Amino acid sequence: DTAVSQTPKYLVTQMGNDKSIKCEQNLGHDTMYWYKQDSKKFLKIMFSYNNKELIINETVPNRFSPKSPDKAHLNLHINSLELGDSAVYFCASSQVLVGSRVHFGPGTRLTVT
């Protein structure tokens, strides 16, 4: 199936740890994103990459570092995790930068204890 996939689905970790979330899309899209959805279901963009180039960094703490090894992958590494980082993180992709339909992955629920 063509889709946006991300792993892991669930991530439970302690404060101060470093963790990564991996994302892959096989839709042939040029643009990939990371979104954060808080407990109130508010979905907010964190980063967008177009052809492996960072386009948007939406005032996200430096502890969050996206890495795009190629157009099909956009991973998210988080250092020194804090309680407030607990949320659902969605990877997404679109054919062009905004303006076209955005396809979302299934999400990674991160719980920091």
Partner 1 sequence: EDQVTQSPEALRLQEGESSSLNCSYTVSGLRGLFWYRQDPGKGPEFLFTLYSAGEEKEKERLKATLTKKESFLHITAPKPEDSATYLCAVHIQGAQKLVFGQGTRLTINP
Per-residue H/E/C for 46-102: EEEEECCEEEEECCCCCCEEEEEEECCEEEEEECCCCHHHCEEEEEEEECCCCCCCE
Question: Which amino acid is it at 27?
Answer: L
Interactions with partner 1, residue window 3-22 (CB under 8 A): 4
Site membership for partner 1, residue 25 (CB under 8 A): no
> Contacts with partner 1: how many residues (CB under 8 A)?
23
Cα distance between residue 98 and residue 45, in whole Å: 12
Rounded to the nearest whole angstrom, what is the least distance from the CB of residue 33 to partner 1 in the complex?
A: 8
Site membership for partner 1, residue 59 (CB under 8 A): no
**Residue given tokens 């439970």 in the structure block:** 12
Binding string, residues 66-105; x marks residues near partner 1 by CB under 8 A: ------------------------x-x----xxx-xxxxx
Site membership for partner 1, residue 54 (CB under 8 A): no
Rounded to the nearest whole angstrom, what is the least distance from the CB of residue 58 to partner 1 in the complex?
A: 7
